[in-house]
Amino acid sequence: MIVTTASISSVLSVSRTLAQTREVAIVDDQAKHLIDFFVSSTQGAGGKGIRPWASVQAVNSTTDSDTLIIIRSKPEVDECAIVGRPGAGSVLELAKDAATHTVCCNTAAFENKKLTIITPDGNEWGVAVSNNSNTSNCRVTFPPGGGGMAVDDSLSRMPGNQDNFVGGLVVAATVERWYRDSDNRLIRELDTNDDGVIAASERIVAAEEVFDFQVAQGYDADGDGIIFDDNSNDDEWFGNAVGDTKDSGRLEDVPVDTLRMLQIGIIVGGVDNDAVGTSTRRLLDGPSRSATKTVLRPTIGRAFLRNLLTFL
Ligand SMILES: [Ca+2]
Ligand SMILES: [Ca+2]
Ligand SMILES: [Ca+2]
Ligand SMILES: [Ca+2]
C-alpha cells in the first residue's frame, strides 16, 4: 500500500510539473512574441524628419504600468519645409516652388491631418491636427490659434518661441499609444482617421493577462558610446530602477538627442490551477505584481534606435 501511494503521488507530482512547464512555455512564448513586436516597432519608428528621440516616447509611472507612444511618418505623404510663420500665430507657411508646389500645397495631404512640426535640428517638435490647408498660399493652420499653434502637449516638446520652427519640417504622422488597463489588457490606440479623437474602433485589445508593461529609456549622457547600466538611479537608464527620476544621477539635464535605446518589459500571466500560493514579480521600476493560481513571467527586450544612423 505504501509503495503504491508513493508511486501515485510521484506520478501526480510529475504530471503537475509537466503541466506547469507547459504553462510556462506557453506564457513565455506569448511574452516573446509581444516583445519581438515592440522591439521591431520601436526600431522602425520615426522616419522622414522625425528623429528617433521624438518618435518613441515613454510616459513613466512610478506606481503603475507605463505608456509607450510610437510616432511614424506616413510614407505616402511628402515632408515639407516650413518657410514662415505669418502673423506669429497658428499658421505656418510651407515651401512652394515649381517642383514641390503641388505636393506641399496639397490641401488633401495636410488638411485635418495629424502633423509633426519639427525645428531645423529635430530636437523640438509639436504634434497637432491642422484644420485648414490653403492650396493657393501654401499655408496650414493649427487651431485654435490665439497666439500660437495648439499642440498635443503629451507628445510635444515645444521650443520657447514657435518662430523657431521656421526652417524646419512638417511631416504627416501616425501616433500609436500603448498602455495596460486595469483589467490586465494591453491596449493599442491609433487615431486612424486623424481627427485627434480615439473612437472605440480605434482602440484594440492587443493582449490579455498582461500584469505589467514597462518602458525604460537609455541615454548616452556622457557620449562614451556605452549606455551604462547598473540598475540604479545613477546610471544612464531612466525607468530601470525603483525611484528613478531623470534628474537624479547622471541623467540630469541630459540632451534629448542622446536617447539611444529602449528597454520594453512585460509580465504575462497564465492560469495554472496547480500553482501553490501567490507568485510575485517585478519589472524595471514597476511595482510588484502578484497573482494566485497564475504563472507570472517577466520578459525584457532591448531596442537600439536604428534610425539614429541617419542622424549621427
Ligand atoms: Ca516605469
Ligand atoms: Ca479618430
Ligand atoms: Ca555613456
Ligand atoms: Ca536608472
Q: Any idea which ligand is nearest the CA of 200?
A: 2
Q: Which residues in the chain show pLDDT less than 70?
A: 1-14, 16, 98-101, 145, 307-312
Domain ranges of the chain: 21-71+178-311, 73-174
Per-residue pLDDT, 197: 87
Distance 56 CA to ligand 1 centre (A): 15
> Apex CA 258: angle with CA 49 and CA 312, to 5°?
55
Task: Give the tens place of pLDDT for each residue, 254-272.
Answer: 999 999 999 999 999 998 8
Report which bound ligand comes closest to the CA of 219: 3
82-88: long-range pairs with CB below 8 Å, 24+: 82/117, 82/165, 82/166, 82/167, 82/168, 82/169, 82/170, 83/166, 84/166, 85/162, 85/163, 85/165, 85/166, 86/139, 88/147, 88/162, 88/163
Q: Which one of the ligands is nearest to 67 CA?
A: 1
Residue 221 CA to ligand 4 center (angstroms) comes to 12
Q: What is the pTM of this model?
A: 0.89
Contact between 126 and 175 (Cβ < 8 Å) = no
Q: How far is the CA of 60 from the centre of ligand 1 (A)?
A: 5
pLDDT of residue 3: 57
Considering every ligand atom shown, identify the ligand nearest to the alpha carbon of residue 240 and give its number.
4
Give residue-wise pLDDT tens across range 136-157. 888 999 988 677 898 999 899 9
In this prediction, residue 273 carries a pLDDT of 83
